[in-house]
């Protein structure tokens, strides 16, 4: 999709026309949808253009975006969905031993959720991402059921994800801070989300919502509307590095999500691996990190 639809509209143009390129591609390809693969392609191009701008100017992305408020960003462990108590308890305890102070679960049954919260105890706060499993009535039931667990936030409890009125009903109970936004495709989705009273925490994804340019706008909207800005980041590679920069330039310095898994090889030589629950903000030009071509070639499948 990127090669056949997006790149023909980009190749040959000045890499400095970031906003103009983004607008032109989105406008010309609007009939393919305002969320999904085309927007992912636009996001990838936007991230690449910001990286180029930084390399041309000799400045890190944080400097281009106004300056970093921190040299490190807190990282939270975003666990897999294990579906049984033993595995989720093991992963929770292991993450805490590795220095994480915030743990996000992806379980959807009470036993596993309760087991993880009990395993974390006072050592780590626990968030819950349910990945949009429930109609509103069932989500309300779980909203009541989970209240005693004192979750740090409840993420995407309602299907479909664009049911902002349904999210607002859950939020109106006041039992949980509601987080959502990883499935949104633009600033305008967050305008609608906030207008509906659907969220306490906005979670745009730099690789899914229009890239760095769009997340800068969403961050400004959240600041104006007193909504917490905590980008979604269940990704690795340039999108993850861009998110580190974006988090560092927020006054609140929001936490960085990291999928809790280990890799056989690291394309950035371990530079994005947390140490004691924190990751260093890159200081080199652009994104500040370049993938190791040797690692990429070793695992290339096509």
Kindly indicate the confidence band of residue 209, based on its pLDDT and cuts at 50, 70 and 90.
Answer: very high
Q: Is residue 196 part of a domain?
A: no
Tell me the pLDDT tens digit for each residue of 258-290.
999 999 999 999 999 999 999 999 999 999 999
Decide if 25 is inside a domain. Answer: yes
* Residue pLDDT, tens place only, 165-192: 999 999 999 999 999 999 999 999 999 9
Global confidence as pTM: 0.96
82-133 pLDDT per residue, tens: 999 999 999 999 999 999 999 999 999 999 999 999 999 999 999 999 999 9
| Residue 98: predicted pLDDT | 97
Would you say residue 24 lies in a domain? yes
20 CB-contact burial (10 Å; exposed 0-12 / middle 13-18 / buried 19+): exposed
What percentage of the chain exceeds 70 in pLDDT?
Answer: 100
The predicted model gives 152-162 an average pLDDT of 99
Is 13 among the domain residues?
A: yes
**Domain span at 21:** 2-62
11 part of a folded domain: yes
Q: What is the pLDDT of residues 107-118, one digit of tens each?
A: 999 999 999 999
Query: Within a domain: residue 93?
Result: no
pLDDT range class, residue 2, cuts 50, 70, 90: confident
What pLDDT is attached to residue 186? Answer: 98
As a whole number of angstroms, the distance between CA 178 and CA 136 comes to: 14
- Burial string for 177-191 (b: 16+ CB within 10 Å, else e) reads bbbbbbbbbbbebbe
Structural domain count, the chain: 1
Residue 87 located in a structural domain: no
**43 in any annotated domain:** yes
């Amino acid at each position: 999709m990127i090669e056949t639809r997006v790149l023909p509209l980009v190749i040959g143009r000045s890499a400095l026309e970031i906003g103009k390129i983004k607008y032109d591609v989105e406008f010309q390809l609007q009939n393919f949808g305002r969320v999904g693969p085309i927007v992912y392609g636009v996001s990838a191009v936007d991230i690449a253009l910001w990286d180029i701008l930084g390399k041309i100017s000799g400045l890190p992305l944080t400097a281009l975006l106004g300056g970093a408020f921190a040299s490190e960003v807190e990282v939270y462990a975003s666990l897999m969905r294990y579906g049984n108590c033993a595995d989720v308890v093991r992963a929770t305890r292991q993450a805490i031993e590795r220095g994480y102070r915030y743990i996000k679960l992806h379980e959807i049954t009470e036993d596993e959720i309760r087991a993880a919260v009990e395993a974390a105890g006072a050592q780590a706060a626990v968030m819950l991402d349910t990945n949009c499993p429930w109609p509103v009535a069932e989500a309300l039931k779980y909203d009541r059921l989970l209240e005693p667990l004192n979750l740090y936030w409840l993420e995407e409890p309602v299907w479909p994800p664009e049911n902002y009125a349904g999210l607002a009903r859950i939020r109106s109970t006041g039992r949980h801070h509601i987080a959502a936004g990883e499935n949104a495709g633009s600033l305008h989705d967050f305008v609608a989300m906030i207008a509906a009273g659907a969220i306490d925490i906005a979670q745009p994804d730099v690789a899914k919502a229009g890239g760095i340019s769009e997340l800068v706008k969403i961050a400004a909207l959240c600041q104006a509307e007193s909504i917490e800005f905590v980008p979604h980041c269940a990704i690795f590679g340039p999108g993850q590095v861009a998110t580190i920069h974006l988090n560092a330039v927020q006054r609140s310095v929001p936490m960085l999500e990291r999928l809790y898994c280990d890799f056989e090889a690291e394309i950035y030589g371990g530079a994005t691996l947390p140490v004691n629950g924190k990751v260093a903000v890159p200081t080199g030009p652009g994104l500040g990190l370049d993938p190791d071509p040797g690692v990429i070639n070793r695992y290339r499948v096509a």
